[in-house]
Copies of this chain bind each other. A is one copy, B any other.
């Protein structure tokens, strides 16, 4: 093999010359340029020449969210807006902390399916499908549950300690619409809200007060 080795060594320059030139990384990745234009497929790409390993790494999920609020829960997103390396790759994560007694109220993700993975604690988890059938279970450490895109679901901490969950999503910007906030945190006139939800006037006024809405 020596002769071939020599041949190989001699032709280093030739080897180096032969390589498929790929100046554009459009096929590899498109790190989000958060200051650039957005389109339906995501953010514009950061200049590949300026991409470093730091564009592929995100540390935010290691920090516990602050659950000192009414719902005793916190969500820490790692979507493409927080983690530009995810742009266009069809994937996102989020950390969910639910303190004892806490809850992630009924919500949907408009743009992605979700897998909910319990790292610590015990969580009652519910999913309702479009035929109104409810799927209810208690998840423990190591369990995962899938919520198909666009369907209502919620979680309640049923244990004595904080539950920690990692949620994975099938899109870089899954979105999140919490029903309570969508209904009660804005200025949608109460009369319309009552008509469109069948909720009582007293209930609507109360929750508008709670969630910061008006009208």
Task: Kindly state whether residue A30 has any CB partner on chain B within 8 Å.
Answer: yes
CA distance A44 to B135 in the complex (A): 21
A174 within 8 Å of B (CB atoms): yes
What is the copy number of this chain in the assembly? 6
Q: How far is the CA of A209 from the CA of B198 in the complex (A)?
A: 12
CB distance A43 to B14 under 8 Å? Answer: no
A74 and B24 alpha carbons, distance in the complex (Å):
19
Q: Which residue of chain B lies nearest to A15 when distances are taken between CB atoms in the complex?
A: B70
Contact present for B28 and A151 (CB under 8 Å): yes
A15-48 vs B, CB cutoff 8 Å, 1 = contact: the mask equals 1111110111111111001001111111111001
In contact, A128 and B188 (Cβ under 8 angstroms): yes
Please give, as numbers and ranges, the residues of chain B lying within 8 Å of A88 by CB-CB distance. Answer: 39-41
Q: Give the number of residues in A that approach B within 8 Å (Cβ atoms).
A: 144
Task: Output the least CB separation between A149 and chain B (Å).
Answer: 6
> Do B43 and A148 touch across chains, with their CB atoms under 8 A apart?
no
If the complex has contacts A37-B44, A38-B45, A69-B18, are A1 and B144 also in contact, measured as CB distance less than 8 A? no
> Which residues of A (168-215) have their CB < 8 Å from a CB of B?
168-183, 185-188, 192, 195-201, 203, 206-207, 209-212
Within the complex, which residue of B1, B8, B124, B133 is in contact with A201, where a contact is CB–CB below 8 Å?
Answer: B1
Q: How far is the CA of A79 from the CA of B150 in the complex (A)?
A: 18
Select A43's contact among B39, B147, B182, beta carbons within 8 Å.
B39
* Also in contact, A26 and B173, with CB within 8 A (given A135-B52, A192-B124): yes
* New A-B contacts (15) at CB < 8 Å, excluding given A28-B111, A52-B135, A59-B142: A8-B70, A15-B69, A17-B69, A18-B71, A24-B173, A26-B38, A26-B172, A30-B40, A33-B37, A37-B44, A56-B145, A56-B147, A91-B115, A110-B151, A126-B192
The 3 closest A-B pairs by CB, nearest first: A62-B142, A110-B150, A40-B88
